[in-house]
Chain A
Amino acid sequence: MAEKTTLRKEFTKGLLVENPVLRLVLGTCPTLAISTSMTNSIGMGISAMIVLVCSNIAISMLRRVIPSKVRIPAYIVVIASFVTIVQMLVKAFVPALDSALGVYLPLIVVNCIILGRAEAFAGKNSVAASAVDGIGMGIGFTAALLCMATIREFFGNGTLFSGADSLLNLFGITSFTGIEIFSRLPESLHIEPILILILAPGGFFTFGLLMAVSNKIAEGKGKPKAELRGCDSCPMSGSCSLIARDEAGDCAEKQPAQATANTTGGDA
């Protein structure tokens, strides 16, 4: 019974409390780049989720075998292989999505959400918990992407789910190609979409506003603001505590001695 509740907690935390995009501020690059279209967002979200779940499971299974010295390269190899497998499958079965996502599909490798979860969760927890964590985080990522894409596509292009046939093709449905909204309005109500929202500046702007809303909600629940804490959120931060030192003060010359002292202390 107790285990069931924990699993449920692992699942739900990714949706809201620890939403990877809006709370942990991870994976900002694909969020900004892909959220011009709802269809592409769903495609990106599902691809990333598959990689996240598979790599979480694999890393959790290997957690006792991988020496901690080489864990980061090992995680990167595992993640990169799953990304490549997903990329090949997308190319073979949903080619339109492959050309729409372009370079951002292989770039899932360096999506901090995946390496971040590997380091923070899968490397320390059981296979089941890691899988559930991956599903929750994946859904949270997709939901945040879709939320941004809905705003950007509706106001910026006047459509919803445009180009949906590229995804639905997989299930043999080709008739639904999205909903045109602004161009269907009667002449007297004619409005032009706010084009800039689907251009690059609109991405930053929409993300900023969403972040403000999410912070407001968090504040109401007594939770701290989402903050990009330099590199705490970065999985490499363990191996590069040096940068934090530089941010804290300009004593790059003074500190190495201390750092070395710390390492030796740790070894002894």
Chain B
Amino acid sequence: MKNLKEIIVPTVVLFVICLVATFLLALTDKVTAPKIETLTAETEKKSRAEVLPDADTFSNAKTLSVDGKQYSYYIGYDENGNIAGYTFTTSAKGYGGDVVLMTGVDTSGTVTGVTTLVLNETAGLGMNAQKESFRNQYIGKSGVIGVSTVGNKAENGIDAMTGATITSRAVTNAVNLALELYANAKEVGGNG
């Protein structure tokens, strides 16, 4: 009988601890989940306003399919209800994983702003892609953007960050992808 007790008691105690722990977690999740959701939505809204400052209101999320991949984008309208531009969320492979950006493009196909959404690059090197001094280089550019490194000037290029050429290229690739999506989105027609 003693053996049976030796098996049952620990099992029951461990089970009760797990049960209480799971209950507590579910409770915290219930409280924090809506807060996290609104926070994410707010951050996205703020990013959209930042990369497309001319827009007053935004459409709902739209999807676009290019080369078999789905991309989501938003159309921004100015105060008169005319299309001010588009915002695209694109990604490219960086040094520490995917770099995800939001790019604003106006109706003439010019970049109006770039902001980083996901960035897991090296601190002090690739992480500098968050800085305005780097991101603002893209504003006013159109077509296919290149990357200039030391001693290698690219046409229509931005200056790469010192020691973080891979991140610079990844950001540029993602912006170029956004410009490509812009051409497609325009074809579909911005009337939706």
Contacts and interface: CB of A to CB of B under 8 A. Distances in A.
B32 A198 contact: no
Contact of A88 (B29, B43, B118, B122): B29
Contacts of B125: 195, 199
The number of chain A residues touching the other chain, given as a range, is: 20 to 34
B14 A84 contact: no
A195 B13 contact: no
Interface in B88-136: 118, 120, 122-125
Contacts of B32: 88-89, 91-92
Interface stretch (A66-74, A127-135, A215-223): A66-74
A102 B39 contact: no
B32 to A, nearest CB: 4
A201 B77 CA distance: 49
Interface in A17-76: 36-37, 62, 65-67, 69-70, 73-74
The number of chain B residues touching the other chain, given as a range, is: 20 to 34
B124 A89 contact: no
Contacts, number: 66
Contact of B21 (A65, A67, A81, A156): A81
B123 A198 contact: yes
Contacts of A73: 14
A234 to B, nearest CB: 22
A157 B124 contact: yes
A85 B25 contact: yes
A81 B124 contact: no
A240 interface: no
A142 to B, nearest CB: 19
A193 B125 CA distance: 12
A157 B118 CA distance: 22
B124 A199 contact: yes
A78 B39 contact: no
A196 B43 CA distance: 33
Interface in B19-50: 21-22, 24-25, 28-29, 32, 35-36, 39, 43
Contact of B13 (A74, A92, A99): A74
B25 A156 contact: no
Interface of A: 36-37, 62, 65-67, 69-70, 73-74, 77-78, 80-81, 84-85, 88-89, 91-93, 95, 99, 102, 156-157, 193, 195, 198-199
Interface of B: 6, 9-11, 13-14, 17-18, 21-22, 24-25, 28-29, 32, 35-36, 39, 43, 118, 120, 122-125, 163
18 contacts: A36-B123, A37-B123, A66-B17, A70-B10, A74-B13, A74-B14, A81-B24, A85-B25, A92-B32, A92-B35, A93-B35, A95-B39, A99-B118, A156-B124, A193-B124, A195-B125, A195-B163, A199-B123
